[in-house]
Chains A and B, each alone.
Chain A
Amino acid sequence: MLAPASDLEQRRPLLDVSSQWPLVFGILLLAIPTIITLGEEHWSTEAGAHAPLVLVTGGWMIYRKLRETKVAARPGSGTKVALLLIPSLLIYVFGRAYDYLILEALGLYGAVIATAYRLAGGELLRELSFPLFFLAFAIPVPGWVLDQATAPLKHFASSITTGVLQFAGVPIVREGVTLYVAQYQLLVEDACAGMNAIVGLTSLGLFYAYIMRGTSWRYCLLLMLFILPIAVLANVVRIIVLVLITLYAGDEAAQGFLHGTAGLVLFGSALLLVMGLDSVLWPFFRRRQTAHA
């Protein structure tokens, strides 16, 4: 018996390397230098530590989606590929040559999407829209943009912290730049650098929502609205831990914490907060969804 035509089409591999190697080759030529640069300049910083994880988990999400989807690949039109590919490549060249990492990564992202469209077509790409959107969190936001966007949050976080700690009877004074804890001084900027992890925290929240609740766009957006307060709270937790360690174990222990486990505390507390929030929000959201249906 012959299988129905649609089944046959589904089993056709997305990419036939023996004939389509120019696509793979082209993308690798673009991607490898960029990934090396990202590794050197972005992934080692607090603002970019999440990016390799985003790439891996994003790839996994795409793989999983491709296995379960019933939508067949229908190679997209050449014009549309060209319309996305050409500007993407121009942006890539400009960004790579003149050292704008965000443009370079954005150009590569566009080129990958264009190639994926060539292979999979619009319908299948729409199926993959969430993981593809998720991958965009690996694109580095320039430090000066982050600095400007998070400066008020840093101050907010440090003033909440001093307020809470003073209320709890900890001898702490904030004087603009510096936190004085008993006989120690802490630079607020050091302690609050966690705000740079805001992109990473957002992707963590999105990943959690995706795993737990599937790809409901609305719900993901709803959770993302709470990312800012969560990031501030997670930072407050981190600064409080830092201050308490300084107070009870000394400055050296605090510095060790700052360079070692501080990120873990930041992401750990953020994850707990996201989980707590999710357990409160989800029942309401689902009730509204079913009421609408």
Chain B
Amino acid sequence: MLNRRDLLIGGACALAAGSAHALTPRKNVTLLGGAKLDEVTPRRFGNWAEAHVGQVIQPETDDSLAKTLYSQRVGRVYQATDSGAMVMLLIAYGSTQSDLLQLHRPETCYPAFGFNLSSSAPTSIPLDNGSLVPARDLVASIEHRVENVTYFTRIGEFLPRTQTEQRIDKLKAAFHGVIPDGILVRCSTLGEDTAKCMEINREFLAGLIASVAPRYLPVFIGSALARGVAS
């Protein structure tokens, strides 16, 4: 004979399994679509042009890990045609952001590779139309090498500035039934003069964003900011 309690417990479990299934987001929204990140990222803009100096040093990329996390990556060195300043650019794109496959933020990757983080501060990249892209400045050093890093990330339509924001934004997308894509755009300049290097980084990233073809701009800064730039 069935016991009422057992039926209740079993029913509650079944209900939980059913609601979990119903709530699970299934719509994968990828702003990049089928495009190639390498072709979408301009090789030459403003005063900047790609310089061929061999592989970019990518401290966070243990190959096997990076390969599983990101579906596409672009690593380049750019040089300013006027001042000769060098900027390293790394863009990593993941078509699905899940618990397992999510962007690794540089403030966790650099220390994992033996770098010392002497500062980490929120910043913004000003666009031509006056809107701001929330970003972060890091100063990472190893032995005598000081790397001034400026980066921003996009998860779905959000631009999280911290790890916590990134998790919350991923959850917000999930509440809308969406599995978002994500991108990490990171540039760094070597040098002791942090203020000057960060200025170069900001100018570089602003120029990069300004020169991306309008239809791919959402890939970098999300649809809302991209609309603002277009209008």
A contact set with B: CB distance below 8 Å: 19-27, 29-30, 33, 41, 78, 81, 85-86, 89-90, 92-93, 96-101, 107, 111, 114-115, 118, 142-144, 147-148, 151, 154-155, 175-177, 187-190, 193
Contacts and interface: CB of A to CB of B under 8 A. Distances in A.
Interface size of B as a range: 35 or more
Contact of A189 (B11, B24, B62): B62
A30 B113 CA distance: 39
Contacts of B19: 93, 97
A30 B13 contact: yes
B53 interface: no
A22 B142 contact: no
B9 A177 contact: no
Interface string B39-81: 0000000000000000000010010110000000000000000
B230 interface: no
Contacts of B6: 19-20, 22-23, 118
A21 B19 CA distance: 21
Contacts of B11: 22, 26
Interface in B1-19: 1-3, 5-7, 9-17, 19
Interface string B13-36: 111110111111100000000000
A99 B17 CA distance: 14
B99 A99 contact: yes
Interface in B69-100: 98-100
Contacts of A25: 10, 13-14
A177 B59 contact: yes
Interface string B201-220: 00000000000000000000
Contacts of B98: 99
Contact of A144 (B10, B16, B24, B108): B108
A193 B68 CA distance: 15
A85 B59 CA distance: 45
Contacts of A154: 112
B99 A101 contact: yes
A26 B12 contact: yes
Query: What are the 8 closest A-B residue pairs judged by CB atoms, nearest first?
Result: A22-B10, A26-B13, A26-B10, A97-B23, A96-B20, A176-B114, A89-B16, A29-B17
A111 B174 CA distance: 24
A48 B183 CA distance: 27
B114 A177 contact: yes
Nearest to A21: B10
B100 A89 contact: no
B10 A143 contact: no
A118 B100 contact: no
Contacts of A101: 99-100
8 contacts: A26-B14, A41-B99, A89-B12, A90-B16, A98-B25, A111-B16, A118-B5, A143-B100
A85 B171 CA distance: 24
Contact of A85 (B9, B21, B62): B9
